[in-house]
Amino acid sequence: MIAIGCDHGGINLKEIIKKFLEEKGLEFKDFGTYSTDSCDYPDYAKAVCDAIVSGECEKGILVCGTGIGMSIAANKIDGIRAAHVTDTYSARMTKEHNDANIICLGERITGCDLALEIVNAYLCAEFQGGRHQKRIDKLMSFQK
Ligand code: RB5
């Protein structure tokens, strides 16, 4: 299950990503926001992160205007490794090497077609383990 969330600055791209996931037959849960009314991105970052930390969802996608606020907020939560990505190579590598459990996108930064390629690259990638696990163990110890 993929958790997806956004603020008012990311709602259009979130809807496009949801359609993409539906077409691919991938299950997702939308944690809002559900309107273009101004809101606070940390609230939606927290909802998506909680779903991942609890085990309800395995991966998350967060969208705001730049992707930056969502990534800062998500990385404050214990157990989360959120990557702000603007290219497909980074989207793949952040799963393979960092085992990122969330990617963050900026609707005002990344065009729709590229954003969907980024989502696809992230979802298709697999964590490589090995030497990367040791590094993740180290960085995760910073949160405890
Ligand atoms: C909202 O205007 C904007 O600040 C937000 O979507 C995001 O870009 C924050 O990082």
pLDDT digits (tens, 9 = 90+) for 42-72: 999 999 999 999 999 999 999 999 999 999 9
Average pLDDT, the chain: 97
Residue nearest to atom 2 of ligand 1 (CA): 9
The pTM for the full model equals 0.97
* 41 Cβ inside 6 Å of ligand 1: yes
Determine the pLDDT at residue 143: 82
H or E element in which residue 113 lies: helix 112-124
Place of tokens 């395995």: 58
- 66 Cα: distance to centroid of ligand 1 (angstroms): 6
